[in-house]
Amino acid sequence: MPEDASWAVLSGARQSRVGVAPVATDAVVGFATRSLRVEIDRGTLELTIRDAQGNVVQQDARPIAFDGRTFRIWKKMPLDEHYFGLGDKTGPLDRRNEAFTLWNTDAYRYQESTDPLYKSIPFFMTYRSGVAAGILLDNTWRSSFDFGKQVRDTYSFGAEDGPLDYYFLYGPSPKQVVEAYVWLTGTPPLPPLWTLGYQQSRYSYYPQARVLEVADRLRADHFPADAIYLDIDYQQDNRPFTVNTALFPDFSGMIAKLTAENLHAVAITDLHIANYPGHGYAPYDSGMAADAFVKNPDGSVYAGKVWPGSSVFPEFTRARTRAWWGGLYREFYGMGIAGFWNDMNEPSIFDSPTLTMPIDVVHRIEEPGFQTRTATHAEIHNVYGMENSRATFDGLLALKPDLRPFVLTRATYAGGQRYAATWTGDNSSTWNHLRMTTPMLKNLGLSGFAFAGADVGGYAGTPAPELLTKWFEIAAFQPIDRDHTEKGSGDQEPWVGGPEQEAIRRHFVETRYELMPYLYTLAEEASRTGVPLERPLFFEFPDAAADHHPLDVDPAASGEFLLGPDLLIAPPPFLEEVEAYPVELPSADWYDFWTGERVARPAAAQVGPVVVTARPEAATLPIFVRGGSIVPMQPLVESTNETPQGPLDLRVYVGDGGEGRSCEGSLYLDDGKTMAYRQGAFLRAGFTCLVADGVLRIHIGAHEGSYPAWWKEIHGEVYGWSATSATVVVDGRSEPVPLSRSSQAIHFTVDDNGKGVDLELR
């Protein structure tokens, strides 16, 4: 048997134990937990897992098979079961009737049928009649997953070598499955607040004057933004950790100027180190001295051609090499570069017939939890990009222990969310690629990557102004909002296409910044639980359909997604079409986010989703708010570094449930930069409302934690309720509160001293 070790699963989870009751009959042997009964057939070794009521949750279709070192596992595939996950694979959200390979690949200009892609996340979720479970195949070798494509009633998975080591994760809700998966593989770190802002990028902004020109234009146009990216052309001859001083004569001064304008610089640092001996190139010289590079089978250092030409590659499977790599960031991090971007880390190699390292290249594993040994690239390939981002993240943390690192990676493996955010790679500037973004991000979220995005506008090609605008609109409600394009394409900044297009794009990005309290609260939740920001409808509404199938597989809902539990974004399923289209709402109680108008409920009680009609328009995007939610918002800022001026805005959407109907929401806040929140320097508050005896009672909870609020007052907007008077309880005394009205809402403003506020609206 291969070594019992894992790059993906946390040591604490691997060592965890729970009591079980043995199960043994003449036919089966196994055990039972509080929720499950696990049985292995004595004759065939086939596995059956049942819930506490005896229902089959998962069952082998045939015995596990080995062919040399290759193995395969087959599971029975009920007609009504659906499959999600595997990261950012293309195609529909549901993996049913599809087959995939996991082998990290630089897939420039990938299309809807392209496979494999950049990441290998061998985790998927099964979903049947509202019951969810998960499978993690913890194997780094080239693997494959077939969801009924080859055999109609069977799904299967396996690998060409390595351990047959897989985890079954029972829900029964989708949220419980994701939480169990990140309990195994780790939660993402709480990101710096600025990473939730709008980010401007291209390959490449150069020279220095062009970088500052883009920054100045963003600020002159009052377009909210928090980051500008520097692609490889800032480097001397594309050599990582260098600066082309001819193009960037005052690099540190440029970083300081961006910082002064509240724009964070993110610099690319590809993992290939130029094979450049005898020229004083410190990363190469120090790496050779540390014996830090991957080797050929004959013991020589492996070299392959990438952007700098001949390049060598760090041995990230050694803890000491990762520490060396992390130290390379000292100068850049010290001058104020705020984040780093690890690209090309599949690894991508230009002069190899496979476009990556030969599989017989030798890696040395010197790592806690593993035997000290060598391994071929065939075993390490899929984990190589994750260990690159791990080295970057840990290195930044070692350099500035009190500052939250930001790392963006293209290639990764299961558990890579512990170290980096990600994006969907080199997409294209087409309507179809914009449509593909939603299922890719939803499946990444279900696969542990709560912080993910896609290049806004598309990387390959030049989008028409209308396509770029619609992409801006949708991306404003996705976890990472980064506009990025390739060298040789047209300009893709917010102002491209004229003032009318820029005004539309600005409106949606401004809405994102107004929603920052809601976004950051979701980010903090993800850092504790792994629950994604962008979610499928079935994640929050597993029982929305009468037969409990996931609504997201319906054609009418295929373009929809949730941002957190309360906002539903509903672009057209086919974005270039101009005809009206149906929107499926997973419950009956929703409001229009833009107008506050309540969505008309069906005339008679019905089971299943509510269908409303929307019409595509260039300047609009249908967004709905769940009845029973309280959404925190803030006054507009142009950067997350700015302190909002004015009251905190609470939008209260009263649920339509009669007496006892209620609503709830929450808010999390800290300095957005440091680790001080771990010592209690945060602010957490909960909000509720309750209808009783014809009175709407709103409770604004006391502040928890030591971090001070930026607001002194709370402005409330109450939707779905009529009132003529309001009172607030202050220090046990009831005082009247002035009310004002708009077309759909009642407005009030109250002081908030952090001790809690109670209001009654009659």
Say whether 346 is catalytic: yes
* Integer Cα distance of 600 and 621 in angstroms: 19
- Over the chain (762 residues), the average pLDDT of each successive run of 10 is 95 95 97 96 97 96 96 98 97 97 98 97 97 98 98 97 97 98 98 98 98 98 98 98 98 98 98 98 98 98 98 98 98 98 98 97 97 98 98 98 98 98 98 98 98 98 97 98 98 98 98 98 98 98 93 94 98 89 94 96 76 94 97 98 98 83 93 98 97 92 98 96 86 87 94 94 91
* Integer Cα distance of 438 and 429 in angstroms: 15
**How many C-beta atoms surround the C-beta of residue 608 within 10 A?**
15
Strand pairing class (131-137; 99-102): unpaired
- Paired tokens of 486: 């390739």
Cα 737–chain centre separation: 41
* Integer Cα distance of 1 and 615 in angstroms: 59
What fold does the segment set 269-401 form as a domain?
TIM Barrel (3.20.20)
The answer to whether domain 201-266+424-535 has CATH 3.20.20.80 is yes
- Please tell me which residue in 98, 115, 233, 346 is annotated as part of the active site: 346
- Please tell me which residue in 39, 115, 426, 752 is annotated as part of the active site: 426
* Residue 466 host element (H or E): helix 465-475
Task: Mention every residue, 6+ apart, whose C-beta is less than 8 A from residue 544.
Answer: 537, 538, 551, 586, 587, 608, 609
* Integer Cα distance of 272 and 235 in angstroms: 13
Q: Which DSSP letter does residue 595 get?
A: T
Instruction: List the chain domain ranges.
Output: 11-185, 201-266+424-535, 269-401, 538-622, 629-761
Q: If you write DSSP's letter for every residue of 197-255 in order, what string do you get?
A: SEEE--TT--SHHHHHHHHHHHHHTT----EEEE-GGGSGGG-TT---TTT-TTHHHHH
Classify domain 11-185 by CATH number.
2.60.40.1760
* Integer Cα distance of 570 and 575 in angstroms: 11
201-266+424-535 has the same fold as 11-185: no
Q: What is the model's pLDDT at position 573?
A: 87
* Integer Cα distance of 19 and 506 in angstroms: 56
Q: What is the model's pLDDT at position 194?
A: 98
Task: Mention every residue, 6+ apart, whose C-beta is less than 8 A from residue 336.
Answer: 252, 255, 256, 259, 265
* Integer Cα distance of 545 and 563 in angstroms: 20
- Paired tokens of 338: 């705020």
Q: Which DSSP letter does residue 456 get?
A: B
- Please tell me which residue in 115, 231, 343, 379 is annotated as part of the active site: 343
Cβ 56 vs Cβ 50: under 8 Å: yes
Classify domain 538-622 by CATH number.
2.60.40
Distances (CA, A) of 68 to 71, 137, 158, 161, 162: 8, 19, 13, 9, 11
Task: Mention every residue, 6+ apart, whose C-beta is less than 8 A from residue 200.
Answer: 214, 218, 225, 227, 228, 229, 482, 483, 493
Say whether 426 is catalytic: yes
**Nearest to residue 83, comparing CAs of 64, 101, 98, 73?**
98
**Nearest to residue 225, comparing CAs of 643, 637, 563, 644?**
637
Cα 308–chain centre separation: 31
Cβ 99 vs Cβ 147: under 8 Å: yes
Superfamily of domain 629-761: Golgi alpha-mannosidase II (2.60.40.1180)
* Integer Cα distance of 269 and 407 in angstroms: 10
Say whether 366 is catalytic: no
Q: What is the model's pLDDT at position 658?
A: 64
- Paired tokens of 103: 């082998």
Strand partners, 120: 413
Q: What is the model's pLDDT at position 600?
A: 86
Handedness of CA 208, 211, 214, 217 (dihedral sign): negative
